[in-house]
Chains A and B, each alone.
Chain A
């Protein structure tokens, strides 16, 4: 009995320690702080379900503990039987009907919250942005045809309609503070939306296993003033696209300096500064003795590829010594 008690005490302490850590920072008992109306209403629905399920949880677990305590054997022999009760129709009907009512209530709450989660406010004029999932990066197409990689810039307070697509494998778009997930499925077009209510940077990452670098496929949404947004898609995006491509796409496998990592060393490979050869590899992928490369740039236009070559020439490429080995 003492051993049982001490194990129980340890269990309670562990549970309290865990709950204490969580409560102290309010971390992990609720979805992350919502910063968009759809995310806020999701959290509302979450708390309503917490309310209903908590009642059932404490009822069932409470009865369980109470019965364990109250009806424990206390040294009675195995041959001592409890009352031979075979059932009770009215009771059983009650514990069938009450869950039906509770679940109906939850369903009603969900359908009540749904329009505010699923659809953007009707009056708003949304900014339409295409999100393309790739092994292993996110590409964003703005209304004026500019692009950015891994970081999406949006104006604070604007409704953003995201068209979510992919070309290689399934990915899943997820910025927890800005709402739920939507899969990026090759061959399908999905939509989701958000409206960042405060300026700031919101982090997220791909939520559907997409290959070796699934864990590195992070995304960030930067909500900033309308002026800053206009400036970004006006000129900055195009000016930095080469750098974004290198650090957001190439460097994942080949290393920041092209020194190699999961992929081979490309810092001294002349193909990286040769537009035609590089275009072929980016558009079609590459399958060689050192491993396979996905067609990471299958939706890149020639301006983008030229920008990448320019960036690589300036910052990464180290021409191999000419004329063979020198002593």
Chain B
């Protein structure tokens, strides 16, 4: 064994402190790089959000120009979706999936490294769009043509081209990563780990990967056609020459809605890991939770046009997409009730991972319920493209996904780095974010109902519009402070080395990643226990306790 581990990091420049990260094919290091890069982009995207909230704090402000507002809005959305949530899930998956299934590494370690570096490249290309001739992309994160076409009054210059190139690179990164996850999960599970003994987070990553493979080609195709229109003189989306604008909307949302579940299913997976551990109970209804993940994924491919109810598709299609969208609420409801039942009669230990998970449950439920208003298409005609939508998807994407992510970060941080983040600061982080989040996004529902459309750089109504926008901006600042507390926590834990060192399994958890050391060695495990249930570590603890008596 000794000779082998020397071979992994041979002498020379490759073993340097920085160089060893640059050339690494270790899934754990790649996972950490994914997560770190995503957090960096989260900070950038959050900064853009604060700029927008500053501009909208009061009526008729001039903090941003109308041009730069559209750029900031477009870059915020694109960054948060493509450079934060999707890759950070890949990061968690990278770090956790091989550990959870007792594997040595991902199936294709070099491909894995390529996925990461493509992600970083895509992020850089997207952000270079600020320096493009004509400014950054400014047609919204959907980039609907004709506004995203090259006409002088639409999106001339190269910001939009950078956006397209970035999407191409990121799509490639995601698909390669997804194939890697699928092969790893199918072929590298440790002996005894049947599908029904797999951690629910691994189920979520399996589903995430399948959806990526199915959905990503649609947006690749859409932006390729857009690029051809812009650079090669085709007319796919130019109506005057026979093109169709609805075609782009269909292609975009055929990707766009599964994308929502690509982002949220791994978050569900994290909740399904954290809740049982901090309730000191098994997950309630393992099979129901696992299969509802698959059901959500299946139906998520059938609901895309509920983003298009106001395009005049006709009542038949509207009705179909309303029903299919409502069907998705059923497996989602199954998850929520199973999570609640997991807490029932538990021994709830309010460490930060549980706090964030409970925040997730509270906020995601609300975001899910407002989704029913939008599925009901005649009501959607009133609410669509208003601030109600902005509120709805932030309750899902921030209240749901980001809260779960913070829960996951606090939960797996000791495994990744061997030190515990400070719990007091973690609680400040949670409460600031929880209050700040609700202040930011709850009033947006009302703004939408009052008639404020999304994506406007200013408004001229005083009264309630001004009050709600003001509250929203104040909440945004509070949320930002909450995130800053998290960064401070990392600083204190690692740079000031205040974080307590931890053993293999500080939370008394259930899954295999807690069997190895914190942080794990490059080869992950010296040996892996034979898996006889979905909670191998609890089995092990019980065996040890029995042997001791």
CB–CB B373/A100 < 8 A: no
Specify which of B70, B337, B451 is in contact with A204 (CB 8 Å cutoff): B451
Contact string against A for B residues 142-159, beta-carbon threshold 8 Å, 1 for contact and 0 otherwise:
001011000011101000
B381 contacts across to A, CB distance below 8 A: 42, 117, 179-182
- Asked if B464 and A180 make an inter-chain contact with CB atoms under 8 angstroms apart, the answer reads no
Give complex CA distance A211, B73 in Å: 12
B336 near A83 with CB under 8 A, answer no
Interface membership of B528, Cβ < 8 A: no
With the chains together, A203 CA to B450 CA distance in Å? 11
**How distant is the Cα of A169 from the Cα of B144 in the complex, in angstroms?**
9
Chain A contacts with B in 71-85, Cβ cutoff 8 A: 71-73, 76, 78-85
A176 and B382 contacting across the interface, CB-CB below 8 Å: yes
Residues of chain A from 7 to 41 with CB closer than 8 A to chain B in the complex: 7, 10-11, 14-15, 18, 21-22, 25, 27-32, 39, 41
Q: A64-B340, A169-B154, A188-B312 are in contact. Are A14 and B376 (CB under 8 A)?
A: no
B329 interfacial by beta-carbon distance below 8 Å: yes
Partner among A49, A172, A188, A204 whose Cβ is within 8 Å of the Cβ of B379: A49
The proximity string for B residues 259-295 relative to A, scoring 1 for CB distances below 8 Å and 0 otherwise, is 0000000000000000000011110111110000000
Tell yes or no: A249 within 8 A of B by CB.
no
**A187→B244 contact, CB < 8 A:** yes
Task: Report the separation of the CA atoms of residues A39 and B347 in the bound assembly, to the nearest whole angstrom.
Answer: 50
Which positions 277-324 of chain B face chain A at CB distance < 8 Å? 279-282, 284-288, 310-312, 315, 319, 322-323
A15, A78, A203: the one within 8 Å of B507 (CB): A78
Whether A235 sits at the interface, judged by CB under 8 Å, is no
**Is B451 a contact partner of A176 (Cβ separation < 8 A)?**
yes
Determine if A179 and B449 form an interchain contact, defined as CB atoms under 8 angstroms apart: no
Q: How far is the CB of A174 from chain B (nearest CB, A)?
A: 7
Known contacts A32-B450, A106-B376, A187-B243; is A211 also within 8 Å of B280 by CB? Answer: no
Q: Which residues of chain A are within 8 angstroms of B366 by Cβ–Cβ distance? A: 57, 61
Say yes or no: is B468 at the interface (Cβ < 8 Å to chain A).
Answer: yes
Please give, as numbers and ranges, the residues of chain B lying within 8 Å of A238 by CB-CB distance.
none
- Given the interface pairs A83-B281, A180-B382, A188-B312, the reply to whether A170 lies near B147 with Cβ below 8 Å is yes
Contact residues of B between 310 and 360, Cβ < 8 Å to A = 310-312, 315, 319, 322-323, 326-327, 329-330, 333-334, 336-338, 340-341, 343-350, 358
| Pairwise interchain contact B147-A191, C-beta atoms closer than 8 A | no
A135 and B311 alpha carbons, distance in the complex (Å): 18
Instruction: List residues of chain A with CB within 8 A of the CB of B443.
Output: 18, 28
Interchain CB contact under 8 A, B345 and A82: yes
User: Known contacts A110-B376, A172-B310; is A187 also within 8 Å of B239 by CB?
Assistant: yes
B76 nearest CB across to chain A (Å):
13
CB distance A28 to B382 under 8 Å?
no
A215 within 8 A of B: yes
State the CA gap A205–B385 with chains docked (Å).
Answer: 11
B286 CB, min distance to chain A CBs, angstroms: 7
Stretch from B2-10, B30-38, B225-233, B430-438 at the A interface: B430-438
Query: In the complex, which residues of chain A have a beta carbon less than 8 angstroms from the beta carbon of B197?
Result: none
Q: Which of A52-102 contact B (CB under 8 A)?
A: 52-53, 56-57, 60-61, 63-64, 67-68, 71-73, 76, 78-88, 91-92, 95-96, 99-100
Selected contact of A170 from candidates B245, B457, B463, CB within 8 Å: B245
In the complex, which residues of chain A have a beta carbon less than 8 angstroms from the beta carbon of B451? 32, 174, 176, 203-205
B471 within 8 A of A: yes
| Min distance, Cβ B431 to any Cβ of chain A, angstroms | 5
B345 partner residues in chain A, CB cutoff 8 A: 71, 82-83, 85
Q: How far is the CB of B357 from chain A (nearest CB, A)?
A: 11
Docked Cα-Cα span, A262 to B66, in Å, equals 10
A206 to B341, CA, bound (A): 46
Interface string of B119-162 (1 = CB under 8 A from A): 00000000000000000000110001011000011101000000
Give Cα A95–Cα B280 distance, bound, in whole angstroms. 23
Hey, which chain A residues are within 8 Å of B438, CB to CB?
Answer: 11, 14-15
Residues of B within 8 A of A110 (CB): 322, 376-379
Contact A57:B378 (CB < 8 A) given known A64-B358, A96-B330, A187-B244: no
The answer to whether B468 and A28 have CB atoms under 8 Å apart is yes
B484 at the interface (CB under 8 A from A): no
CB pair A68 B453 closer than 8 Å? no
Of B244, B286, B382, B471, which contacts A181 at CB under 8 A? Answer: B382
Once the chains bind, are A292 and B323 in contact (CB under 8 Å)? no
Are the C-beta atoms of B379 and A207 separated by less than 8 Å?
A: no
The answer to whether A181 and B310 have CB atoms under 8 Å apart is yes
Complex formed: what's the CA distance from A20 to B152 in Å? Answer: 48
**Max chain B Cβ within 10 angstroms of own Cβ: one of A41, A63, A135:** A63
Asked whether A185 lies within 8 Å of B453 as measured between CB atoms, the reply is: no
B446 A29 Cβ-Cβ under 8 A: yes
A293: CB under 8 A from chain B? yes
- Residue A186 at the B interface, CB < 8 A? yes
Does A224 lie at the interface of the complex (its beta carbon under 8 Å from any beta carbon of B)? no
Beta-carbon contact of B323 and A107 below 8 Å: yes
A73 in contact with B348 given A45-B378, A170-B147 (CB within 8 Å): yes
| B350:A14 contact, CB within 8 angstroms | no
**Which residues on the A side are within 8 Å of B47 (C-beta)?**
none
Q: Give the contacting residue for B361; candidates A29, A64, A191; CB below 8 A.
A: A64
Residues of chain B within 8 A (CB-CB) of A191 are: 312
Known: A169-B154, A215-B458. A49 touches B349 (CB 8 A): no
Contact A78 B280, beta carbon cutoff 8 Å: yes
Q: Are B330 and A211 in contact (CB under 8 A)?
A: no
Residue of B nearest to A49 (CB): B373
B453 near A206: Cβ-Cβ < 8 Å: yes
Pick from A46, A84, A118, A174: contact of B315, CB under 8 Å? A118
List A contacts of B239 (CB < 8 A). Answer: 185-188
Which one of B336, B348, B373, B464 lies within 8 Å of A27 (CB-CB)?
B464
Q: Which of B154, B322, B333, B348 contacts A211 (CB 8 A)?
A: B154
Q: How far is the CB of A177 from chain B (nearest CB, A)?
A: 8
- Which of chain B's residues have a CB closer than 8 A to the CB of A201? none
The CA-CA distance from A96 to B372 in the complex, in Å, is 16
CB neighbours (8 Å) of A73 from chain B are: 347-350
In the complex the two chains form, what is the Cα distance from A57 to B362 in whole Å?
9
In the assembled complex, the Cα of A79 lies from the Cα of B329 at a distance in Å of 36
Q: Does A146 contact B (CB under 8 A)?
A: no
- Per the bound structure, the CA–CA distance linking A183 and B67 in Å amounts to 23
A128 within 8 A of B: no
Q: A61-B362, A169-B154, A182-B381 given as contacts; is B70 within 8 A of A87 (CB)?
A: no
Partner of A28, one of B315, B333, B347, B445: B445
Which residues of B376-427 have CB atoms within 8 Å of chain A's CB atoms? 376-386, 427
A selection of 20 A-B contacts at a CB cut-off of 8 Å is: A14-B438, A25-B463, A28-B445, A39-B382, A42-B381, A46-B382, A72-B348, A85-B284, A85-B341, A88-B341, A114-B315, A174-B453, A180-B384, A188-B245, A188-B246, A188-B312, A212-B66, A215-B456, A215-B457, A292-B152
A85-B344, A182-B381 are known; give 7 further A-B pairs, CB within 8 A.
A15-B442, A73-B350, A88-B341, A91-B341, A99-B330, A180-B378, A215-B66
Residues of chain A touching chain B, judged by Cβ–Cβ distance below 8 Å, are 4, 7, 10-11, 14-15, 18, 21-22, 25, 27-32, 39, 41-42, 45-46, 49, 52-53, 56-57, 60-61, 63-64, 67-68, 71-73, 76, 78-88, 91-92, 95-96, 99-100, 103, 106-107, 110-111, 113-114, 117-118, 135, 164, 168-170, 172, 174, 176, 179-183, 185-188, 190-191, 203-215, 262, 285, 287, 292-295
